[in-house]
Amino acid sequence: MIEIVPVQSKKQIGQFIDLPHDLYANDPNYVPELFLGQQDLLSPNKHPFYKHSSAQAFLAYQGGRIVGRVLAVWNTNHNTFNNISEGQFGLFECINDQSIANKLLGAAAEWVKSKGGTRIVGPINLTTNDTCGLLVDGFDRPPMVMMPYNPPYYLELIEHAGYSKKVDLRAYLVKTETANRRSVLLLERLTERLRRSGIVLRQINLKDFANEAKKIKAVYNKAWDKNLGFVPMTDEEFDYTAKELKMIVDPKYCIVAERGEEIVGFALGIPNINEILIHIKRGRLLPFGIFKLLFGLKKIKMIRVLMLGVLEEYRKLGIEACLYGLIIKNAIPSGIEGAECSWMLDDNYMMNHAIEQINAELYKRYRLYEKSI
């Protein structure tokens, strides 16, 4: 007998978070999420998302054993901004059993329907600013920081539950040793041309982080306004994310393009801390995991460029190439072996083409699914 139970207690939240550790016990590419971070993601009194929206977690039991989980999401701001009525499902994990998957995803859909939703999209692990997408190609290596991971059989579980492809998301790998240095070689010429237009590139100033973050937020909310699933972050949401990222941001990989006092574009790369987290048992930093994290930061060999945006009126000036070029230039003497650029929409030709021009390899693909309810 399969029983689907809404998560309500602190104990159930812990069981919800810990389920993947057991499901992936024999998978060498699995990277445990930090327990404290997942706990905050599910806590209405800690995460700013819940000030405007809601979510409900579910656990699946069979024979007294937890065999699956899912999070149903109702993002009020997303629906208002895009003038739609859809919910999301995320944090989906399940043993390889279609009947269990059907009941889990069905519970999420029914919860979304009770909120007035007519469609459900996923996997989106709360919002598109968090991890999202189902890995459908590229199972041969661990995920990068803030990217999802799942076994191949999830593809069939979700599709056989009645979901169809909405869009694919791309992840590119740029290896330092094979990267086309054209953007680096042209960097001086391009930056000089931008300088004549009053645009300069510089590293983020961590000593003035609050002010820098405020300016970057303005660019983020404008530059991404036509992207799939986008909704402007509230001030609290942006501050929450910025505070999380500040702990691992390296200014060498966080570059802004500035005209006067206005930031008109930026690129954010962060160290791939998954190289460390993969060794932290069950995502617990305490008592000894924190030391692995702190002492491992200098040994990281990869970075992930997770954001690159330029205000629409400043596009096609070469700013994007300069941002990539400066990150590559800074990475070479730092011992970084490569970078993942992710994620990009499958149909974002301009950005995908720009990345492919520096010999980037499309090495992972993720998918968002949708279903009418």
Lowest average pLDDT, out of 205-209, 248-252, 289-293, goes to 289-293
User: What average pLDDT does the chain have?
Assistant: 90
Quick one: pLDDT at residue 94?
98
Around Cβ 255, how many Cβ atoms within 10 Å? Answer: 23
Co-location of 114 and 189 in the same domain:
no
Co-location of 204 and 342 in the same domain:
yes
Co-location of 109 and 24 in the same domain:
yes
Co-location of 124 and 191 in the same domain:
no
Lowest average pLDDT, out of 67-76, 136-145, 184-193, 230-239, goes to 184-193
Residue 371 within a domain: no
Residue 76 within a domain: yes
Of the two residues 111 and 260, the one the predictor is more confident about is 111
Co-location of 96 and 237 in the same domain:
no
Co-location of 192 and 264 in the same domain:
yes
Co-location of 247 and 151 in the same domain:
no
Co-location of 58 and 162 in the same domain:
yes
User: Does residue 234 surpass a pLDDT of 90?
Assistant: no
Q: Do residues 253 and 270 make contact, with C-beta atoms less than 8 angstroms apart?
A: yes
Quick one: pLDDT at residue 225?
60
Question: How do the residues of the chain divide into helix, strand and coil, expressed in percent and rounded to 5?
Answer: 40, 30, 30
Co-location of 30 and 138 in the same domain:
yes
Question: Nearest 5°: phi and psi at 125?
Answer: -85, 65
Helix (H, G, I), strand (E, B) or coil at 263: strand
Residue 362: both structure tokens together: 């499309």
CB crowding 55-85: b at 16 or more within 10 Å, else e: bbbbbbebeeebbbbbbbbbbebbbeeeeee
Q: What's the Cα-to-Cα distance from 218 to each of 51, 69, 131, 222, 312, rounded to whole Å?
A: 21, 36, 22, 6, 13
Quick one: pLDDT at residue 232?
79
CB hemisphere CA count around 287 (13 angstroms): 0
What is the C-alpha separation between 53 and 130, in angstroms, rounded?
15
Co-location of 271 and 138 in the same domain:
no
Co-location of 184 and 298 in the same domain:
yes
Model confidence band, residue 308 (pLDDT cutoffs 50, 70, 90): confident
What is the C-alpha separation between 104 and 282, in angstroms, rounded?
23
Residue 51 within a domain: yes
Mean pLDDT of 189-212: 89
DSSP label at residue 333: G
Residues of the domain holding 335: 175-366
What is the C-alpha separation between 265 and 256, in angstroms, rounded?
6
Helix 319-331 vs helix 349-356: angle between axes, to the nearest 10 degrees?
A: 40
**CB neighbours of 25 closer than 8 A, spacing ≥ 6?**
none
